[in-house]
Structure 1
Amino acid sequence: MKLVHVYRVKTYVVPEHLDQVVKGILEVDELQVGHYKNVMWRSTDGVEQFVPSEEAVPTKGTAGERTTVTSFRLEFSIPRDESLLRKIIKEGIYPNHPWDEPVIQVSEELEARKEG
């Protein structure tokens, strides 16, 4: 067993745009873990809430009013390579996500890999 340094990336996406965001990410990187590629996690039935400001360009909701939408949490890990991380966010997530300011959380973690 070995421990590898990774970035864990999480974002929240409404169901009707989930496949588009996944496709965009996978066009940048195959998300390989061991002998598997396209490794991602999705959790369902989350509720996202926000109040768009007057300057916002909301896909859903109205400026000044609280909006709630069902969303998926999409999560994956990549090697700790900042240029790859930036490319996935700029080319994979941003152009395919419906929000003008999507929430993207990045943390530095260790993941276990089975050797062999």
Structure 2
Amino acid sequence: GICDNFYSWPMPKDLKHSNIYAGMVLADADDVVYDEEGKEKLSDENKFYRVRVLRENQDGSVDCYLPDHGHDELLNRSQLREIDPHLNLSLSYQAVMAKLHGLDNISDSVKHMAVH
């Protein structure tokens, strides 16, 4: 499965803005599990998703968008792997980016309900 092969996939040498990679997303940042070499290792908390690189930050972190889930995640470079293009193209992205017209006119007290 995708999880079993994640660590055998190469880490990207040069991140390309808007490219799709496999990203290891932790259920909770406090749940990071490391192996003997100091690399994040597979655990029940770790999930693997397609991620689009939005920006690489000065501290080495990477802002990513999850095209199958519709939200952003902050990942470490070590959590990214090159993804097989055939695997990426085998399934359409499951989230659609949208902007609701007129949402700016809704009061802040109810805006959070409209977004969710």
Relative to the length of structure 1, the TM-score reads 0.29
- 1 or 2, which has the higher strand percentage? 1
| Greater relative contact order, per chain length (Cα 8 Å cut-off, separation 6+) | 1
Relative to the length of structure 2, the TM-score reads 0.29
